[in-house]
Structure 1
Amino acid sequence: MNVHDEHSLSREFQEIEDLCDHGSMTLQRIIDHIHGRGEAMLTLVLAGPFLLPIPLPGLSIPFGVLIAIFGFSLSTGWKPWLPKTWLNRNIPEDLIRRFCRTARKFLSKVERFIRPRYGWVHKNRVFKGGAGTMITICGALLALPLPPGTNAPPAAAIVCLSVALLEGDGLLLMVGYGLFAFNAAFFTLLPIVGYEAILKILSVGF
């Protein structure tokens, strides 16, 4: 087994799920566990639940703010500072378990396609800094009190960009850039034409 396999994302999520069996889940526990993976792993864990078809009452604002902070850290290299009340806030264990299980099932199907490639993209400081900035913006969008159903697009972009940074996948990084461009168009049109009109446009396009 190579290094990439030993530290696969699916295994990381299995280990995070296992943490739920040993006490209450807090952001500090997750940070302590994945300290070797850095901010991109945290943005992935925090954004992933927004792709699940379950309500997340009271979590979009704090999770969105945290994602924005970690994204800013990715783009600037500055170490993020968080108040202890945020770090020690309990995260519902059922939410963590459901997300980790869903993530493992999804990753088991696509992980073989995600690999280090196009290093000239992934290692470029401009592209990496741009990814961090995009994660910051998408995190801020998650924190806004927007209509139901608008969390998934920025969450998808965050997840894609985070996985690309974690796995050194330049091609996936470009896909994340494309998802961010979709978000930019979506949220620009939202106040102009309205949410229902955008859904109709998308239904016609697809």
Structure 2
Amino acid sequence: MLSALLASLIDEIERTPGDSVTLRTMIERSGREGMLLVCALATLPFLIPVSIPGVSTVFGAAIVLLAGALFMNRLPWLPRRVLDRPLDTARLVPVLRKGAGLVGRVDHWLRPRWPAMTAGALRRLNCAAIVFGGLLLMAPLGPIPFSNTAPAVGILLLAVGLLQRDGLFVLLGYLGLGLSVAYFGVLGYLAWTGGTYLFG
């Protein structure tokens, strides 16, 4: 079960010595085959309304680079600044556990289906979509409601769909990213019209 895999990885993070954890540690604990799992894990802090400074940049960059490596079918390269940036374990772990609890509610819906959506060229396209979602996640719009949550949900559904070979969840992930783009478009339009009104 996906929630059990996430809980196991969170337990490993919690047992890390010291008061902070790095992305390097998370990747090392999950292994090469766990890159999608780390992408899913990186979305959890954005599923609940709690802000942890620096998480959006670090986790967004990690999603972009890990999914990019999966797209190119190679081992990931991540800059040391992203890999070794310390994140406060005391604040991060409870948020991850709450997010994993939300994921656990959909565990019984996950099953292998529509295999064509998760194999071959479509698998690479799905990884490219996760990269795009990671870029949206990195947008400096943290104070705006749902600006991180919307792309995080799309990324999570795509990653979960690929992990469990569930084509339905992959399609739902594309829907989530589509709604994110629409939401960002509305925000941009409002910002543009507001600026035109003020300075026009």
CA deviations on 1:24-75 (whole Å, 9 max, x unpaired) are: 4221221111115332112111122111211122222222122111121222
Q: Mind listing any 5+ residue stretches in structure 1 that lack a counterpart?
A: 1-7, 198-206
TM-score (norm 2): 0.83
CA pair 83-94 structure 1, distance change in 2 beyond 3 A = same
Counting aligned pairs with the same residue, the percent is 28
Find the partner of 1:171 among 168, 173, 176: 168
Answer with 74-83 or 44-53: which moved more: 74-83
Correspondence for 1:55: 51
Q: Quick one: structure 1 residues 27 and 191, their matched pair in 2 at CA, closer, same or farther if it must change by over 3 Å?
A: same
- Any residues of structure 2 matched to 1:1-206 within 5 Å, and which? 8-19=1-12, 20-24=14-18, 25-35=21-31, 37-123=33-119, 125-146=120-141, 147-149=143-145, 150-194=147-191
Give the unaligned 5+ runs of structure 2.
Answer: 195-200
How high is the TM-score relative to the length of structure 1?
0.81
Cα distance 1:104–1:180, how it changes in 2: closer, same or farther (>3 A)? closer
CA contact (8 A) 1:10 1:103 kept: no
Give 3-state SS (helix, strand or coil) of 1:40's partner. helix
Q: How has the CA–CA distance of structure 1 residues 108 and 45 changed in structure 2, closer, same or farther, with 3 Å as cutoff?
A: closer
**SS at 1:37 equivalent:** helix
The whole-number CA distance in structure 2 between the counterparts of 1:101 and 1:179 is: 22
Q: CA RMSD in A?
A: 2.2
> Which amino acid counterpart does residue 136 of structure 1 have in structure 2?
V
Quick one: distance in 2 between partners of 1:192 and 1:119?
Answer: 38
